[in-house]
Amino acid sequence: MLRTCRALCSQAGPPSGDWQPLRFDGGAFHLKGTRELTRALLVLRLCAWPPLVTHGLALQAWSQRLLGSRFSGALLRASIYGQFVAGETPEEVRGCVQQLGTVSLRPLLAVPIEEEPDSAVKTGEAWYEGNLSAMLRCVDLSRSLLGTSGPTGNVLMQLKVTALTSTRLCKELTSCIQRPGASPELSPERLAEAMDSGRGLQVSCLSTEQNQHLQASLSRLQRVVQDTHERLRRDAEAAHRAGLAFGVKLVRGAYLDKEREVAQLHGTNDPTQPDYEATNQSYRRCLELMLTQVSQHGPGCHLMVASHNEESVHQATRRAGRLCRV
């Protein structure tokens, strides 16, 4: 994943003629041993096998029943989990970060927890509180990585809001905001103030139970971000001056099948691109637009580029390099 041109320039130093684009010629393979490369190749082949992709969760459940949780977990850690997860302990994560730092890559820690849309499972506040504890541990780990050798700058962390609050509440709030003559209690300023403080928001269009869940959710959000109070203050001031805040995570091809299923279920237009080439064109246009916006507005516009497509990453790094040299 890549951040904005400003972040890329800060790592590269002052503009110069020796800026080098990101390469995919295998030069980074020297960081990996034979065992890790063999596992990566195996996982790549498995993830390209349609039956495994389609029935992965069912196969995992069968594995747990046949092998038991201990052996099933060991098999998962030795394969897919080990390939995509930085480590199970803070020491393992720091080692991975140090290794990435040798090729000027910065970490983005993620807590892969979220509530499935339209899930019928009654998760309850205890489930959200458990997610909060996991996120706070990740915040502490992110802070400890600041002293790790490698590229300078902030350590990024990603979390899903729907790990701390229900998707139903998000949908209900969206519905309330979209109604004609929406109440001032749902103004951007009021919502920002409530999220910053973690309390003090009662919404008339919500039930008593929904308002209680909203208050608990705001409190959880506030506890996660209070390590970043100064950054929130600066962002709030900038948003007040400009009238809005603009941040984009440009993701390529995420949740494609699910988006199509939801559109078919609700009888709405399919929001996805019709084919591969149309996806390429759309992503290129959006990426070009956002990189231009970043170069023009600087700190007022933030972009994260997320793609497994090699050409998309090449496009982003080439364009960012030209903007950095301007």
> Looking at residue 245, what is its pLDDT?
56
Q: Is residue 294 part of a domain?
A: yes
> Looking at residue 13, what is its pLDDT?
41
Q: Is residue 213 part of a domain?
A: no
Q: Is residue 162 part of a domain?
A: no
Three-state secondary-structure class, residue 232: helix
Domains of the chain: total: 1
Q: Is residue 272 part of a domain?
A: yes
Average pLDDT, consecutive stretches of 10 residues, N- to C-terminus, the chain (326 residues)? 44 45 69 87 89 86 88 87 85 86 79 68 79 87 70 71 88 82 73 70 86 88 68 57 69 77 82 78 81 75 81 84 66
Q: Is residue 198 part of a domain?
A: no
Q: Looking at this protein, which amino acid is placed at residue 246?
A: F
> Looking at residue 116, what is its pLDDT?
67
> Looking at residue 9, what is its pLDDT?
47
> Looking at residue 20, what is its pLDDT?
58
Which pTM value belongs to this model?
0.60
pLDDT in tens, 152-195: 556 778 888 888 888 888 888 888 877 777 667 777 777 777 77
150 neighbors 106 (Cβ within 8 angstroms): yes
The partner residues of 286 in beta bridges, in order of sequence, read: none
Alpha helices in the chain (DSSP H): 5-12, 34-47, 50-54, 56-78, 80-84, 90-101, 124-144, 167-178, 188-197, 208-225, 229-242, 256-266, 276-297, 310-325
pLDDT in tens, 56-105: 888 888 988 888 888 888 888 888 888 888 888 888 888 888 888 877 77
Containing domain of residue 277, as a range? 1-25+245-326
302: which 2 tokens?
């933030």
Q: Is residue 124 part of a domain?
A: no
> Looking at residue 120, what is its pLDDT?
54
| 173-178 long-range contacts, CB within 8 A, separation 24+ | 173/203, 173/206, 173/214, 175/205, 176/203, 176/205, 176/206
Q: Is residue 155 part of a domain?
A: no
The partner residues of 301 in beta bridges, in order of sequence, read: 246
Three-state secondary-structure class, residue 132: helix
Q: Looking at this protein, which amino acid is placed at residue 302?
A: H
For residue 77, what are the CA distances in angstroms to 74, 81, 93, 280?
Answer: 5, 5, 15, 34
Q: Is residue 66 part of a domain?
A: no
The torsion angle over the Cα atoms of residues 9, 14, 15 and 19, rounded to 10 degrees, is -70
